[in-house]
Chain A
Amino acid sequence: MLKLLKTIVSRPSGAIGLGLTVFHILMALCAPWIAPFDPTAQNADAILIAPSAQHWMGTDTLGRDVFSRVLHGGRLAIAVTFSAAVLATLWGGFAGIFFGTVGGRVDEYSMRIVDAFLSMPWLLFLLLIISIGGAGPVTIIPTLGFFYGVAVLRVIRGAAMQVAARDFVTAAKARGEALWPILSREMFPNLSDILLVEGAMRWSWMLLAFSSLSFLGFGATPPTPDWGLMVAQERGLLSTAPWGVFWPCVALSSLIIGINLLADAVGKALGLDRATAIAV
């Protein structure tokens, strides 16, 4: 584990990715203690103040401190999307390994259903489900988890098919192993790396999706500080008070870039580990 971390940091992109991700998670965790103002406290005397020594990132239309709101703004998004990413990785990963191992008709028919899901405009579906189930983590987490899990399934199934074709899986089948030991002992350990990277990638995309939902009014609800919602509320003032839109965007993008770089570096590090193990 420590060796993996070292390999990740040895690359500039990996170091930046890890740094950004850890920074954001720390900020989200510590926001209540480090934020100078209450993120929901309105101040009629300090509406739309440009960034200053007191309000580092200025204030919004209701006089709330943008810096404090940006600090808090990732909390809900990170918590919701991380849970959804774990869910997507678990179910997509399991189903992908299953179908990739079993193959044959079961796989063939299931993949057509997967194709059907992948061809749907998922954002519209999300909106539909949320309007029925109501906005809130209870609806959003399973919904995001399900839709993104379909994509995970597709990727993992492809990788699983390659692993399933290797002789050690054939050997397990010839030995008469049942399906579950084959999935858990032979297949999963050889796919855990790719699953980890895939999960991290989906997480970053989910962050974007959640912020889009908030922007559209289906994610976080006011007055919760949330990056997507902040952009939505302040977008009318983009020309006169751009700080209300600019800073949440910076926060969101930097987190997404960070996770992407990190996932990439983890993938490379795991791949490299394997290459050196074979070379020695």
Chain B
Amino acid sequence: MTKPLIKIDDLSLGFTARDGRQAPILRGVSLELRAGETLGIVGESGSGKSTVALAMMGYLKSGLSVFRGNAFFDGHDMFSLPEKERARLRGSSIALIPQNAGQALTPTLKIGQQIDEALRLHTDLDASARAGRVIELLSRVRLPSPEDMALRYPHELSGGQQQRAAVAMALAGNAKALLLDEPTTGLDVTTQAHILEFLRHLAQEMGVAMIYVSHDLGVIARVADRVAVMYAGQLAEEGPTREVLRAPQHPYTRGLLASIPRLGEPGIPASMPGVPPAVGSELTACAFADRCDQVRPECRQSVPALLETPHGRVRCLFSNDPGQPRETTIRDPQIKDARALTLDQVAISYSKIGWFDRLIGKKDPTPTVERATFGLKKGETLGLVGESGSGKSTILRAIAGLVGTQDGSVTLSDGESLAAPVNGRDRETLRRVQMIFQNADASLNPRQTIGEILATPLRLYFGLKGDDARKRAEDLLEAVRLPARYLDRFPGQLSGGEKQRVGVARAFAANPEVTLCDEVTSALDVSVQAAALALLTRLQKENGSSYIFVSHDLAVVRAVSDRVAVLYQGRICEIGPSAQVYAPPYHPYTSTLMGAVLEPDPDTAPALLANDMTEKSPPAKGCPFQRCCPRHMGDVCDTEVPPARDLGTGHLIHCHMLPEQLVRSADTSVDQVPEEAAENAMA
């Protein structure tokens, strides 16, 4: 066994309060990492996963101090070195790839210049040698035409390309270790899959040690050799990725895996009730005891030790008891035949040209959303799925009246038109359509109590005031399973999942017919997400409300939707009952999306297009997917809008190809895309 490059030993660190009380963030964590190895650190928010990763690089966030233990990097005891020495070591042999590469790159310098600067700092190469090395690094991270890329500014690169450029810069210093903190979280699924494949190869090729921090077990499954599961600042479980994901030993890992929605299984995954102990609180029992479904009295007597298992380590007294398998709940929607909402040939455009441009003969730009046609039955959930820029949120905002429609009609069940934006609608129409926002943190006014937040729609739509409003607000909180005492709390005092519950309660305060859910679970941890999905499903059944559920996550959409529409560049590619959309024949774009989904299973590899897609605006004519389509047929795709082919039961695929051909295409590998097709897409 080679000597580990990085080793932390019984490391505890955290805040020290003024009265000398210690609030630990990490509690006795020991980990090792060898060169060429990738360690995945996974955990929910507040679990200390980023802190442990930074500590492995000898770095503490400001305000934190080490209580106990050591961190060794390449034989140096990092926390006993003077700060200057530590900074030098970090600069030369450790590189950090942040979550948002776009912000880490200097916007006013060309990519080449920035890498050159890193080389000048960390190597003694002369100018011409550095120029050669810049190109070498850019091709190493597999950016197309590196000579050209070196001359571009960061904003001229797509998100995925920026992330690659940031990796190239990190490699300039001959780093021995790379720390990646959720580097793909802001990226689209297809781009993410490409970056992960690239990072995997990079680690093997260069022999660098990587620490990969993520909340997403699907991502960890793709890149990591070993995985450490963090819970409440402790290691819950650690071991080889395959063993941990296939045969999890800790009930928390099992619960985490069970709460992830799977592409292949419809239904709401099991959720883990409860919340982790507060950051910095004192532990006297197993940290997970309160949320564990197989807790026993022994678990509450002391903090369990980390036990050795055949493959790794686990902090559970009863790890050999597999417990009850958690079951997914199959939805049982009460769908009526009547329609709650109808969209017919809707077009939405954000930008209009001015009178001067019109005078000199310019035309309006291609609308952001075009030909959006679908119906929503009472009690039904329609999922809108697509990547960023697919227009899914724009459609929601148009229905909510936050942007105007340019063309087409949006009507409610009784024919009431939603063409007018918010200030042209009467109060009753407004009440019938409610929206739940992506980020509960931002959608609740931090200066209002939960009671005030819930009272607002009650006053506005029903004229309820005082005690009546408070009574109704209590009922609403109960419906979302929050205690009535929360009425006097401020949003800042609630956890992320609780805030989202308040957001849901606020929407239901209006007793809406149509509820618009905009990425409502994407800011939540998976275990909380499952509970939020179950809540939405239950409320739908109780109230008979119809949902439009927007998400970039195909598995989440599958879990809650009766029907699904796949959007690309503001145009519907495929729409139909979930079971049919999620099975062949696929629209070529649907199949691309499905291929990029990462399952928390180390043995499933994503099927990828030859290159990640980067497109800015929809094409003026023809099929929206023409520039990236692996099944591009020629002129007809570029010039004619594809016909909607009906496969029965309302399953429509907008493609020039016949359904029979599409079925066959599902078998052939999509990896054989002509390179130039993808190159064109970049331009």
Q: B447's contact among A171, A190, A278, by CB below 8 Å, is which?
A: A190
A168 to B438, CA, bound (A): 11
- A171 nearest in chain B by CB position: B443
On chain B, the residues within 8 Å of A170 by CB distance are: 402, 437, 443
Beta-carbon contact of A173 and B402 below 8 Å: yes
Q: Contacts A174-B400, A176-B430, A177-B460 given: A277-B445 contact, CB under 8 Å?
A: no
A112 within 8 A of B: no
Q: Which residues of A contact B446 (CB under 8 A)?
A: 190, 274
B430 touches A166 (CB 8 A): no
Q: Per-position contact with B for A149-192: 1 when CB-CB < 8 Å, else 0?
A: 00000000000000000111011111111000000011001100
B548 CB to closest chain A CB (Å) equals 14
**Chain B residues near A274 (CB, 8 Å)?**
446, 492
A186 and B445 contacting across the interface, CB-CB below 8 Å: yes
List, in ascending order, chain A residues with CB within 8 A of B435's CB: 171, 174
Interface: B401 (CB within 8 A): yes
Chain A: minimal CB distance from B428 (Å): 10
Q: How far is the CA of A277 from the CA of B444 in the complex (A)?
A: 15
Q: A174-B435, A277-B492 are in contact. Are A167 and B443 (CB under 8 A)?
A: yes
Is B437 within 8 A of A167, CB to CB?
Answer: yes
Chain A residues near B422 (CB-CB < 8 A): 173-174, 176
The residues in A between 182 and 224 inclusive whose CB is less than 8 angstroms from any CB of B are 185-186, 189-190
- Taking the nearest CB of chain B, how far is it from the CB of A20, in angstroms? 26
With a CB–CB cut-off of 8 A, which chain A residues contact B400?
174
Most chain B C-beta atoms within 10 Å of own C-beta, residue among A172, A173, A176, A186? A176
Alpha-carbon gap, A274 to B492, bound state (A):
9
Could you say which residues of chain A place their CB within 8 Å of the CB of B266? none
Nearest Cβ on chain B to A8's Cβ, whole angstroms: 16
Task: Give A167 to B400 CA distance when docked, in angstroms.
Answer: 13
Contact A175 B430 (CB under 8 A): yes
Q: Does B336 contact A (CB under 8 A)?
A: no
Q: Report whether B442 and A175 are in contact in the complex, using a CB–CB cutoff of 8 Å.
A: no
B401–A174 touching, CB < 8 Å:
yes
Known: A168-B445, A185-B448, A189-B448. A175 touches B437 (CB 8 A): no
Minimum distance in angstroms from A194 CB to a CB of chain B: 13
B388 to chain A, nearest CB (A): 17
Return A109 CB to nearest CB of chain B, in Å. Answer: 16
Judge whether B366 is part of the interface by a CB distance below 8 angstroms: no
When distances are taken between beta carbons in the complex, the residues of chain A under 8 Å from B437 are 167, 170-171
* B 476-524 contacts with A by CB, 8 A: 490, 492-493, 506, 510
Q: Select A185's contact among B430, B443, B456, B510, beta carbons within 8 Å.
A: B456
Q: Which of B401, B434, B443, B452 has its CB near the most chain A CB atoms (within 10 A)?
A: B443
Find the B residue at minimum CB distance from A169: B445
A176-B425, A185-B456 as given contacts; A168 in contact with B443, CB under 8 Å: yes
Residue of A whose beta carbon sits closest to that of B401: A174
Distance of A174 Cα from B447 Cα, bound (Å): 19
A171 to B401, CA, bound (A): 11
Give the residues in chain B near A177, CB-CB below 8 Å. 456, 460
Chain A binding surface, main DSSP class: helix
CB distance from A9 to the nearest CB of B (A): 14
Please indicate the chain B residues that have their CB under 8 angstroms from the CB of A189 in the complex: 445, 447-448
Report how far A278 CA is from B442 CA in the complex, Å. 12
Q: Does B65 contact A (CB under 8 A)?
A: no
B439 close to chain A: CB less than 8 A: yes
In the assembled complex, B624 has its CB within 8 A of some CB on chain A = no
What CA separation (Å) do A280 and B457 show in the bound complex? 29
**Which of B438, B439, B452, B456 is in CB contact (< 8 Å) with A175?**
B456
Q: Tell me whether B427 is interfacial, beta carbon within 8 Å.
A: yes
- Total A residues in contact with B, Cβ cutoff 8 Å: 19
On chain B, the residues within 8 Å of A280 by CB distance are 278, 492-493
- Name, among B422, B427, B510, the residue most crowded by chain A CB atoms within 10 Å (CB to CB): B422
Residues of B within 8 A of A277 (CB): 490, 492-493
Given the contacts A277-B492, A278-B492, A168 and B402 also touching, CB distance less than 8 Å: no
Would you give the shortest CB distance from B88 to chain A, in whole angstroms? 31
CB-based contact A168/B442 at 8 Å: yes
Q: Who on chain A is nearest to B425 by CB?
A: A176
CA of A172 to CA of B460 in the docked complex: distance in angstroms? 10
CA distance A174 to B435 in the complex (A): 8
- The distance in angstroms between the C-alpha atoms of A118 and B456, with both chains bound, is 39
**Cβ of A272 to closest chain B Cβ, rounded Å:** 12
| Nearest chain B CB to A166 CB, angstrom units | 5
Chain B residues in 8 Å Cβ range of A172: 456
Please name the residue on chain B nearest to A193 by beta carbon: B447
Q: Separation in Å of the B423 CB from the closest CB of chain A? A: 8
Distance in Å from the Cβ of A34 to the closest Cβ of chain B?
39
How far does the alpha carbon of A166 sit from the alpha carbon of B437 in the complex, in Å? 11
Question: In the assembly, what is the distance between CA of A173 and CA of B403, in Å?
Answer: 11
Q: B460 contacts A167, CB within 8 Å?
A: no
For A173, the chain B residues whose CB sits under 8 A away are 402, 422
Chain B residues closer than 8 Å to A176, beta-carbon distance = 422-423, 425, 427, 430, 460
Q: How far is the CA of A277 from the CA of B447 in the complex (A)?
A: 12
Cβ contacts B424-465/A at 8 Å (1 or 0 each) = 010100100011011100111111100010001100100000
A235 to B445, CA, bound (A): 55
- Point out the residues of chain A lying under 8 angstroms from B427, CB to CB: 176
A171 to B493, CA, bound (A): 21
B442 contacts A167, C-beta separation under 8 Å: yes
Nearest to A278 among chain B residues (CB) is B492
Interchain CA distance A177-B401 in the complex, whole Å = 13
A175 touching B460, Cβ below 8 Å: yes
Nearest-Cβ distance from residue A185 to partner chain B, whole angstroms: 7
Bound-complex Cα distance A175 to B400 (A): 9
Task: Kindly list chain B residues whose C-beta atoms are within 8 Å of the C-beta of A190.
Answer: 445-447
Chain A residues with Cβ under 8 A from B506's Cβ?
A: 171
Residues of B within 8 A of A175 (CB): 430, 434, 456-457, 460, 510
A125 CA / B276 CA spacing, docked (Å): 62
Q: Which of B308-355 contact A (CB under 8 A)?
A: none
The interface centre, meaning the residue of B437, B446, B447 with most chain A CB atoms within 10 A of its CB, is B447
Which residues of B have CB within 8 Å of A185? 445, 448, 452, 456
Among B439, B445, B452, B492: residue with most chain A CB under 10 A: B445
Residues of A within 8 A of B490 (CB): 277
Mask, B398-413, CB within 8 Å of A = 1, is 0011100000000000
A15 to chain B, nearest CB (A): 16
CB-CB nearest 10 A-B residue pairs: A189-B447, A167-B443, A176-B430, A167-B442, A277-B492, A168-B445, A167-B437, A174-B400, A166-B442, A168-B443
Pull 28 A–B residue pairs with CB atoms less than 8 Å apart, ordered by A.
A167-B437, A167-B439, A167-B443, A168-B442, A168-B443, A170-B402, A170-B437, A170-B443, A171-B506, A172-B456, A174-B400, A174-B401, A174-B430, A174-B435, A175-B434, A175-B510, A176-B423, A176-B430, A177-B456, A185-B448, A185-B452, A185-B456, A186-B445, A189-B447, A189-B448, A277-B492, A278-B492, A280-B492
Besides the known contacts A280-B278, A280-B493, 8 further A-B residue pairs in the complex with CB atoms under 8 A apart: A168-B444, A171-B506, A174-B400, A175-B456, A175-B510, A185-B448, A189-B447, A278-B492
